[in-house]
Amino acid sequence: MNDIVVITGPTATGKTALGVALAKRLDGEVISADSMQIYRGMDIGTAKPSREEMEGVPHYMLDVADPREPFSAAKYARMAAACADDILSRGKVPIVVGGTGLYIDGLIRGTDYAAAPSDPAARRAIEEEYDAMGAEAFRERLAAVDPDRAARLHLRDKKRLVRAWEVYILTGRPISWHDERSRLAQPRYAASVTALDFADRQVLYDRIDRRARAMFDRGLVEEVRRLLESGVGADTTAMQAIGYKEVAAFLQGKCSLDQAVDGVCHASRRYAKRQLTWLRSRENVRWVRWDREPDAAALADAAGTIARFV
């Protein structure tokens, strides 16, 4: 018997609807695994499920963060695990639904892979060192103690370069050591993982384009404008989400509305490709490939199939 059930896959593959259908069949409750649906006020561009779409099924890890503040995968893992443990304690099944692989991995493994000690004061000092030394010299210094991580990080990836040095300074061990220790640890949960896709890739891309354009019709520009006016900076993590970044550029006069729409469609398709690449590298993933856009009958059939493996 698996502890949790995971429904994942690229954007626009019907994860939300299948998660609800499966929760009803298994007496489960849903935990979102979407790195942008965690933010309050970001509803349209993240395709956050509405109350109607939830169909009475409890959903967790939605609207748990302020978009002005950063939110780590480690924090998600801790909060989502608390939700999963509570659901299990009540004899119900946690159904994890979303496409953010880092969040899903963190929850299943339940380790501190990204939760090494953190010190805001130390980080600010290290950021000043980065600025003073320059990106290349800073990365060379990191390479002397953590060549693996330094080789994987781009010179302009200030956030992760600073974090890697912070972990080394605070623990005396490189961040790659912490990651390897976590990778070898026993998972916190036994998980049944199902990934969604379409048999015809063009069907997926067409669905992505339609959904992206529909977001603009539903008021995405107004949503982004409200966020910016409320003090959410265009350079925050939240505003780097697909849809928000492009619309912010439009509102700042950097592109036309048509260019923003096309940019969202293009970025969403590229993101779907990356999600599929990540999923294909995983072991023990069961695939559901829709022949066409899933209707109620197809969702019920898939839910029944998945339920047999829980």
Residue type, 79: M
How many angstroms from the chain centroid is the CA of residue 251?
25
Q: What is the pTM of this model?
A: 0.81
94 in Cβ contact with 33 (< 8 Å): no
Q: What is the pLDDT of residue 122?
A: 85
Q: What is the pLDDT of residue 116?
A: 63
Q: Rounded to the nearest 10 degrees, how much is the dihedral formed by the CA atoms of 73, 108, 275, 11?
A: -90
Q: What is the pLDDT of residue 241?
A: 94
Residue 231's SS3 state is coil
CATH 3.40.50.300 range(s) for the chain read 4-110+187-307
Q: What is the pLDDT of residue 1?
A: 59
231-253 pLDDT, tens per residue?
999 989 899 999 999 999 999 99
Q: What is the pLDDT of residue 178?
A: 79
Q: Which two tokens stand for residue 66?
A: 């302020």
Residue 184's SS3 state is helix
Q: Comparing C-alpha atoms, which of 119, 123, 116, 84 is closest to residue 181?
A: 116
Q: Is domain 120-184 classified as CATH 1.10.20.140?
A: yes
Q: Comparing C-alpha atoms, which of 307, 247, 291 is closest to residue 14?
A: 291
**Across the chain, which distance is largest between two alpha carbons, in Å?**
61
Q: What is the pLDDT of residue 111?
A: 58
Q: What is the pLDDT of residue 191?
A: 94
Pick the CATH number of 4-110+187-307 from 3.40.1410.10, 3.40.640.10, 3.20.20.80, 3.40.50.300: 3.40.50.300
Q: From CA 13, how far away is CA 88, in angstroms rounded?
A: 27
Q: What is the pLDDT of residue 67?
A: 96
Q: Comparing C-alpha atoms, which of 113, 49, 117 is closest to residue 77?
A: 113
Q: Which two tokens stand for residue 203?
A: 């069907």
CATH 1.10.20.140 range(s) for the chain read 120-184
- With a cut of 70, list the residues of the chain below it in pLDDT: 1, 111-117, 183
Q: From CA 224, how far away is CA 216, in angstroms rounded?
A: 11
H-run or E-run covering 130? helix 120-133
Q: Which two tokens stand for residue 67?
A: 């978009």
